Structure 1
Amino acid sequence: TSGEELRRDLGIATLVVTLGPDGLVLFHASGAEHVPAHPVEVFDVAGAGDTVISTLTLALVSGASLREAAVLANHAASCVVRKLGVATVSTQELIADWVADPDPGATEA
């Protein structure tokens, strides 16, 4: 895939590509992994990508696996897009969003 080619060309271990309402794709040495987002009503996507990368990074440096970090990042972005304008996510919002749907797409075949 072009994502895998880009990852190799850049010489990086992992490439993250956001897919809007469809979540994100992780390209790594083991292949590509789709991490779906759960559906939410979107008001404004401003800042969603920044939220994904900052949450993903924070989770990784805190010891989360790549998949755990990606799931958490999707949840944070889901919180942000339900607000107007560039917004922040509180700990309480993130927890509530995760509790509502801990691993979106986990039952996908």
Structure 2
Amino acid sequence: LISDYGMGNVAAETVSEITKPLRDRGVVVVADSRNALMNYRGVNVVAPNEEEVEVALDIPAGALGNELDNAGRRLITELECEAALITRGSRGMSLFQANGTINHLPIYGTDQIADVTGAGDAVIAAFTTAHVAGASMFEAARIANVAAALAVMKRGTATVPANELRAALEAPA
């Protein structure tokens, strides 16, 4: 998991140097970057939010809604990755896969949130953990969606304990 909050600590050259050997060994490389999304060419999965996609693909602010499917496909192509998981706030998240599959996941639970701090971190941590443990991309995205919903229902930077996540996933819909 490579996470760079736009501080420039992870250069594109570094990403390309480490990504290929890792992927050749079957290691899943997931990237979460605030302002340098296009530096992550060759990772398996990127997990930007809508604003980060707009900046990366030079889409006018607020216009991604009309271009979402095209933007997701562009990310896959331009970054040469297997998937892009775009978080969309109160509209849930969208998973784009290199095989052409697109899944739009509505938010889990209520849209009455307490604090969005750490929501993206919950997404990337839950997605990565689930996927490397054997979940499909879609199932990992579903788990990440629930984890994010649980995180935003708490004030401040929150954790989502495994038992809490498991209970939410097992609860009747």
Q: Tell me the TM-score range normalised by the shorter chain.
A: 0.7 to 0.9
Greater relative contact order, per chain length (Cα 8 Å cut-off, separation 6+): 1
**If the length of structure 2 is used for normalisation, what is the TM-score?**
0.55
Query: Which residue is 2:76 aligned to?
Result: 7
**Any gaps of 5 or more consecutive residues in structure 2?**
1-69
Percentage identity across aligned positions? 41
Matched-pair contact (CA < 8 Å) for 1:38–1:101? no
Taking the aligned partners of 2:171 and 2:89, their CA distance within structure 1 comes to 19
Match status 1:32 vs 2:115: no
Taking the aligned partners of 2:167 and 2:71, their CA distance within structure 1 comes to 35
Q: Which is worse superposed, 85-94 or 23-32?
A: 23-32
**Any gaps of 5 or more consecutive residues in structure 1?**
103-109
Taking the aligned partners of 2:142 and 2:165, their CA distance within structure 1 comes to 11
Cα 1:95–1:10 shift into 2, 3 Å = same
Query: Which residue is 2:88 aligned to?
Result: 19
Query: Which residue is 1:52 aligned to?
Result: 123
Taking the aligned partners of 2:80 and 2:139, their CA distance within structure 1 comes to 23
Question: What secondary structure does 2:86 align onto?
Answer: strand
Amino acid at match of 1:94: L
**If the length of structure 1 is used for normalisation, what is the TM-score?**
0.85
Q: Map Cα deviations across residues 37-64 of structure 1 (whole Å, 9 max, x no partner).
A: 2232300001001110110000011001
Deviation at 1:91, TM superposition (A): 1.7
Match status 1:96 vs 2:167: yes
Taking the aligned partners of 1:79 and 1:38, their CA distance within structure 2 comes to 9
